[in-house]
Structure 1
Amino acid sequence: MPPRRRKSSGYRGVRTRPSDVFYVEIRSGETRLTLDTFDTAEQAARVYDAAAWRLRRPHRKVNFPEVATRERAQELAPPPRVITNEDRRQNMRRERGPSIAEMNEGAMVVWRQHFSEDVVNEREFYAQSAERTAK
């Protein structure tokens, strides 16, 4: 029996990213589990099925119903690393951090090019304040 076809990737729980890689998501109650990314939709669908078996989903809600046992599903797709919401938050912080710093550095370079007299004045100001503190 051929696998069920779903959505744009053709498989249940498998989505396509703009970079043409496939990622797997499965829900467990209120929690959305992002499992991993894969080069092919079929690899991703097999990982979805293995996760569905682990979560004790009904046999009819898998992509490859011919896989008869949980053990066989795990052989075909070993357990992936589960990405949690906390992982997503940390990744977003890492992605935002450098870009803001890079923007600040770029702005300072442009400012120094256009207002070179301010750079000289700033250095003089700090030199004078250092002298005052030393006294």
Structure 2
Amino acid sequence: MASKKTPKGKSGFFGVRQKPSGNLGVEFSDAARRCWIDMYPSAHKAARAYDVAVWRAERPREHLNFPEIKSRMEAEMLVPQGIKMKEITTKKKTKKKPSIVVNAGETDEEAMVRFAREHPEYVQAELEHYWKCEAEQKKKEDDVGPSTVIPIESSSEEDWAHFSKEEEEKGCDDLEKEEFWEQFRSSDNEK
């Protein structure tokens, strides 16, 4: 029988890592994906859950924490609450846009023309981006409709004088407003 790989981590089991909370997290990965299984209070229970994931993925028996288990059904019975594998999405690495190097004696415009000739896919992608933005802006304008400006006639001092006299005659129930109007009137009289 081939020797078992040395388990990684302090837990002593494959796929089991201690989290800052003190619980043990179980993570499973194969060539195509990474999956989060769950948190468990003990390393033994976490290792059992990892083994169920190994059985479900049909990986070799040497990846099991408990190779004495003979079947998937037996492994699943040892984890009474079952497992829920949630795939962990990883950020895809995007290809970095090549930089533009301006050679000695070359103007910026000449360098940009050379870049466009060497990398037409970036020029096309940029054009499509701007076209998309313009189309979205036009759609927003069409949805809202044309804006209308309503002219406001300028008011004369006579209109304002009339307004403040009406307020004076009516009086005010609110003491704070009354104090404000008194200060306002006294500042008018000082000028």
Is TM more than 0.5 here?
yes
Aligned CA RMSD, in angstroms, stands at 2.4
Q: Which whole-Å CA distance do the structure 2 matches of 1:26 and 1:85 have between them?
A: 10
The residue aligned with 1:85 is 88
Q: Which whole-Å CA distance do the structure 2 matches of 1:35 and 1:65 have between them?
A: 20
**Which is worse superposed, 3-12 or 14-23?**
3-12
Larger RCO of the pair (alpha carbons < 8 Å, separation 6+): 1
Letter in 1 for 2:37: L
Q: 1:56 aligns with which of 46, 54, 58?
A: 58
Letter in 1 for 2:26: V
Shift of 1:5: 4.7
SS in 2 for 1:12: coil
Number of equivalences? 86
Q: Which whole-Å CA distance do the structure 1 matches of 2:61 and 2:41 have between them?
A: 25
Q: Which runs of 5+ in 1 are unaligned?
A: 89-135
Q: Which whole-Å CA distance do the structure 2 matches of 1:28 and 1:46 have between them?
A: 18
Q: TM-score, normalised by structure 1?
A: 0.56
Q: Which has the larger radius of gyration?
A: 2
List, as ranges, runs of 4+ consecutive aligned residues in structure 1 with deviation greater than 3 Å: 3-6
The residue aligned with 1:20 is 22
Q: TM-score, normalised by structure 2?
A: 0.41
**Which is worse superposed, 50-59 or 70-79?**
70-79
Select the structure that is richer in helix.
1
Shift of 1:17: 0.3
Letter in 1 for 2:58: R
Task: Please list, as runs of the form range in 1=range in 2, the aligned pairs for 1:26-105 lying within 5 A after superposition.
Answer: 26-78=28-80, 79-85=82-88
